[in-house]
Structure 1
Amino acid sequence: MNTNRRLERANDNAAAFWLAQARAHGWRSRTLPGLTAVRCARTPDDAHRFVVTRPYAETCVVERELANLLSEWSTVCFTLEDPYGGLDLTRFGAVRMAVMPVMVRDPGPVEGAPAALPAVSQAYGGGRLTVDEATDGDGFALVERAIVEGFPLPARQPWVRGEALPERLLDEPGWRAWLGRVDGAVASTCLTYDDGRATGVYWVATLPEWRGRGVAGAVLRTALAHAHPDRPATLVATALGEPLYRKLGFTEQARTCWWTRTSVEG
């Protein structure tokens, strides 16, 4: 089996990101060779999360492990990330979503990033953009709401403080939240998770009225420059975000296939 160390590093970070959420929420989880599973349980039909982390010689092995977990956990909905693209989960009632690039940025300086926090700029329609780290409960709640409404996360709407991202996540080592505000109003945000080997970037979100104005780029540059710039940075890019990530030095390692099921198969 061919392995791509950069890709596996990104996979491991994604798995660790979900395991950190499992600890904060008190969810069950399982780490198997090549597969990490989290039983998200905010509601009975909350989508359980599965991340394939290593190449597989036989798809039937992964699918058997998945079937066992779906049965054990009485799973209704789930999302599975397969960066190797060989699984077919239609027999589980899952639908294949858009294929997205897994991207990695090598350690190094971030062009245009601020040297200190908070970062302040006057270049946003005459407004004053401030980017800083959210380190307390109130700041983290602003980040959570921006992600729920701006990413968006429809299953978590209307926003309820702490339901999607509880404040306990701030106690998880490596978990950091970044907040961009224009004249004090929340405009854009993202999360980073450092697992000791790489820093993953997650849920880059911009509220509708600020899209296309460079605010997300400013937030991301700040996060990359201040969240362990000595480590590789990883992310999965949406079509909307990919051009920005390429400008910031991210390169594609693979194209990951996400499968999702929104109800029990008939």
Structure 2
Amino acid sequence: MKTISRLEQANDNAAAFWLAQARAHGWQQLVTPRFTAVRCARTPDDAHRIVITRPYGATEPLEDELAALLRDWSTVRLTLEDPYGRLDMTRYGYGHGRAMAVMVREPGPVEPPLLGALPGSGARGGGRLTVDETFDADEFAEVEHAIVEGFPIEAHQPWKRGVMLPGELLWEQGFRAWLGRIDGAPAGACLTYDDGQATGVYWVATLPDHRSRGVARAVLETALAAADPERPATLVATLLGEPLYLKLGFTEHGRTHWWSVPTPPAPAAS
């Protein structure tokens, strides 16, 4: 049996996470030995997703293959994750932003957080913090709303229920959703996906009114404590999220470059 690296496990989990969304939405998908592609189609200009899952040799043949697929799919917007950082899609008109850390926490148990009364008082202090897994459509809609507004995900603002995360995702094996509340009101959320090899963590978010109160940490620790302790946990860290993930035992295993179709400039005001 071939052993794969932690980075490859993280790549595979990300690909499986997007394939689960493809099934829930009814989207076209393509799985190849080197990448997985999902033709997201909530709207005509929705961002298609490609995850490079395995190391590659010469870059030009892969770049040509990806460009041909994107032409065939009439791609207008794109998120292409390249965790090996060697692709150059500029000749096809694509650009890329900041590279982000692919992080892994080695297998092992996680102590659930101590929840309950928060310190302080007033508008942004005090209150009772709880974190629960969501199992029904109404609670899952609260998770979706917290992610869209808290991450934030501008492409899905203003938030519309079920557009980004349809309730059918709750029926996907390995897919779990977590919601943090303060005094019963949604405060933060995250998603996890167990593909049988690793538990991926996605979209850890805190609503603006509840930031810097330990919500993200409590949500993440609760999700990790409920995961299979014999599997690694994987995620792609935003710059703001890295310090928290390091404290929870995650280490960097690579940096992924996210390629996208540049947004055309807005027309000049007349």
Q: TM-score, normalised by structure 2?
A: 0.92
1:60 aligned residue? 60
1:76 aligned residue? 76
Where 1:158 maps in the other structure, the secondary structure is coil
User: Quick check: 1:121–1:128 contact (8 Å CA) kept in 2?
Assistant: yes
User: Which amino acid in 2 is paired with 1:164?
Assistant: M
User: Quick check: 1:120–1:130 contact (8 Å CA) kept in 2?
Assistant: yes
1:127 aligned residue? 127
Q: Cα RMSD over matched residues?
A: 1.4
Closer/same/farther in 2, CA of residues 4 and 251 from structure 1, 3 Å limit: farther
The sequence identity of aligned pairs, in percent, is 68
1:205 aligns with 2:212: no
Deviations 1:187-246 (A, max 9, x none): 110000000000000000101111111110011000000022321000000110000000
1:245 aligned residue? 245
2:100 aligned residue? 100
Where 1:165 maps in the other structure, the secondary structure is coil
1:176-255 superposed matches below 5 A: 176-255=176-255
User: Quick check: 2:115–2:218 contact (8 Å CA) kept in 1?
Assistant: no
Measure, in 2, the Cα distance between the counterparts of 1:140 and 1:69: 33
Where 2:76 maps in the other structure, the secondary structure is coil
Measure, in 1, the Cα distance between the counterparts of 2:258 and 2:252: 16
Measure, in 2, the Cα distance between the counterparts of 1:209 and 1:202: 21
Deviations 1:177-196 (A, max 9, x none): 00000001111100000000
Measure, in 2, the Cα distance between the counterparts of 1:236 and 1:229: 20
**Unaligned stretches of 5+ residues in structure 1:** none
Measure, in 1, the Cα distance between the counterparts of 2:9 and 2:87: 20
User: Which amino acid in 1 is paired with 2:118?
Assistant: A
User: Quick check: 1:76–1:262 contact (8 Å CA) kept in 2?
Assistant: no
Measure, in 1, the Cα distance between the counterparts of 2:263 and 2:128: 45
Deviations 1:11-53 (A, max 9, x none): 0000000000000000000001111000000011101000000
Measure, in 2, the Cα distance between the counterparts of 1:7 and 1:42: 30
Deviations 1:57-113 (A, max 9, x none): 0111211221121121111111100000001111222111111100000111224x1
Deviations 1:118-176 (A, max 9, x none): x7421253211010001110010000001111111111111111000000000100000
1:11-90 superposed matches below 5 A: 11-90=11-90
User: Which amino acid in 2 is paired with 1:11?
Assistant: N
User: Quick check: 1:178–1:190 contact (8 Å CA) kept in 2?
Assistant: yes
User: Quick check: 1:47–1:262 contact (8 Å CA) kept in 2?
Assistant: no
How many residues in Structure 1 have an aligned counterpart in Structure 2? 257
Measure, in 1, the Cα distance between the counterparts of 2:209 and 2:144: 18
User: Quick check: 2:189–2:204 contact (8 Å CA) kept in 1?
Assistant: yes
Q: TM-score, normalised by structure 1?
A: 0.93
User: Deviation of residue 263 (structure 1)?
Assistant: 5.3
User: Quick check: 1:147–1:189 contact (8 Å CA) kept in 2?
Assistant: yes
Measure, in 2, the Cα distance between the counterparts of 1:145 and 1:183: 17
> Which portions of structure 1, spanning 4 or more consecutive aligned residues, are displaced by more than 6 angstroms?
none
Measure, in 2, the Cα distance between the counterparts of 1:145 and 1:187: 10
Where 1:109 maps in the other structure, the secondary structure is coil
User: Which amino acid in 2 is paired with 1:158?
Assistant: P
**Unaligned stretches of 5+ residues in structure 2:** 120-124, 265-270
User: Which amino acid in 2 is paired with 1:236?
Assistant: V
2:110 aligned residue? 110
User: Quick check: 1:120–1:129 contact (8 Å CA) kept in 2?
Assistant: yes
User: Quick check: 1:190–1:202 contact (8 Å CA) kept in 2?
Assistant: yes
